[in-house]
Amino acid sequence: MGMTMTQKILAHGAGLEKVEAGQLIMCDLDLVLGNDITSPVAIHEMDKFSKQTVFNKDKIALVPDHFVPNKDIKSAEHCKCVREFARKNEITNYFEVGEMGIEHALLPEKGLTVPGDVIIGADSHTCTYGAVGAFSTGVGSTDMAAGMSTGKAWFKVPSAIKFILTGKPAKWISGKDIILHIIGMIGVDGALYKSMEFVGDGIQYLSMDDRFTIANMAIEAGGKNGIFPVDDKTIAYLKEHTTRQWNVYEADADAVYDEEYTIELDKLKPTVAFPHLPENTHTIDDCGDIAIDQVVIGSCTNGRIDDMRIAASILKGKHIAKGMRCIIIPATQKIYMQAMDEGLLKIFIEAGAVVSTPTCGPCLGGYMGILAEGERCVSTTNRNFVGRMGHVKSEIYLASPAVAAASAIAGRIASPEDI
């Protein structure tokens, strides 16, 4: 019986020739990640340990991004805690406000995630790095503390689901539409504690930004991780962003999968997840006439440069609907600068949108776009649970940057084809 791509990475991390689904193993870690919300909890847990130093100052990344720049005294205290810990332990990859970005966009951009890595992060969307062929998964702050101290973590080896992506997507179909379609198909627990492994000829048509989006939302189907094979696009991206060496793993021909699904990309339509779960999906043709109050384009899911370009291509020369609020958040300082150099920020502002410094703010109902009672938002973020972005009686509709930008212009959920 062969191993999946994920199982091979975990076997290597554990120093074993072979692992099987359900097996408990301890792996060496290549990177431990925390942010300004989860890191303070982990740091305070480390205060209880007999060993209070980190295992490797180069293999820890601390990224203040949720309430940064600080929105209040409490968030300032959290960031102060992280800052002082980073200084005390000489953490190489601590990113202060001017250097920071949304963690899951920043780390690949900085070349800290490569194929074959075993990565944990005290944030559920750490599964993003599967886009470059790494095993990455979210953990709790206590596991983060143990990881920072020992450089190791326990895992139960996950079984896997194979998603075969075929065909070439239509113009406005992006990674967001693909993953929303999949979550709508299998449900928010359809991949519970399983590895979501993406293969097929359709992958060649997906940009790295598309792949980051898909891997990012594996957790929204309950997945332990999402992962893509390493191809020429991956290698080109890695060569641009890192000098680290990496290890490429491929699934065995006789690897065992719990299920296999074929996704015909050429047949997909823009997809929207209605409140209050990512699985409550509808194609754009079935959305009806739903008026909205706000649009958010950004987050660790859709704040990359491709997302900025797509939004700008729709907003250029147009204006958002009267009474509409449109908030656009480039995911890192580098993306912000690139969008500025390409004239995208000018397009956004002339269209009536506001552009924010990189932050997770509105995605988790923190700040920079909180919803009042009865308000509706089309968002490129990853969750639309009750109260996720504000009042428990507000509504979030998850969509791609193309649909979000079109909706901002129309003042209702709209297809980019209609703008």
Q: Which of 90, 13, 106 is nearest to 56 (CA)?
A: 90
Question: pLDDT tens across 182-237, in order?
Answer: 999 999 999 999 999 999 999 999 999 999 999 999 999 999 999 999 999 999 99
- Over residues 287-307, mean pLDDT: 96
Whether the pLDDT of residue 125 is over 90: the answer is yes
Residue 50 has pLDDT above 90, yes or no: no
Give the residue, 69 or 272, on which the prediction is more confident: 272
Domains and CATH numbers, the chain: 5-263 (3.30.499.10), 273-418 (3.30.499.10)
Quick one: average pLDDT of 383-400? 96
Question: Can you give the pLDDT at residue 5?
Answer: 97
- Tens of pLDDT, residues 308-336: 999 999 999 999 999 999 999 999 999 99
Distance between start and end Cα atoms, the chain: 52
What confidence tens digit (pLDDT) does each residue in 329-374 have? 999 999 999 999 999 999 999 999 999 999 999 999 999 999 999 9
- Does the structure show a pLDDT above 90 at 181? yes
At residue 275, the pLDDT reads 96
Mean pLDDT of the chain: 96
Instruction: Give the mean pLDDT of 33-46.
Output: 95
The more confident residue out of 1 and 259 is 259
Could you tell me the strand order of the sheet in which 225-227 lies?
Answer: 225-227, 195-199, 160-166, 259-264
pLDDT of amino acid 141: 93
Beta bridge partners, 162, equal 197, 260
pLDDT (0 to 100) of residue 204: 96
Q: What is the mean pLDDT of residues 371-380?
A: 97
Residue 282 pLDDT exceeds 90: yes
pLDDT over 90 percentage in the chain: 96
Kindly indicate the confidence band of residue 52, based on its pLDDT and cuts at 50, 70 and 90.
confident
Residue 419 in this model has a pLDDT that exceeds 90: no
Distances from the Cα of 112 to the Cαs of 105, 342, 370, in angstroms?
A: 11, 26, 32
In this structure, which amino acid lies at residue 118? V
DSSP at 101:
B
Q: How far apart are CA 240 and CA 222, in angstroms?
A: 32
Task: Give the pLDDT confidence score for residue 51 in this predicted structure.
Answer: 82
Residue 149 has pLDDT above 90, yes or no: yes
What's the rounded mean pLDDT across residues 73-102?
Answer: 95
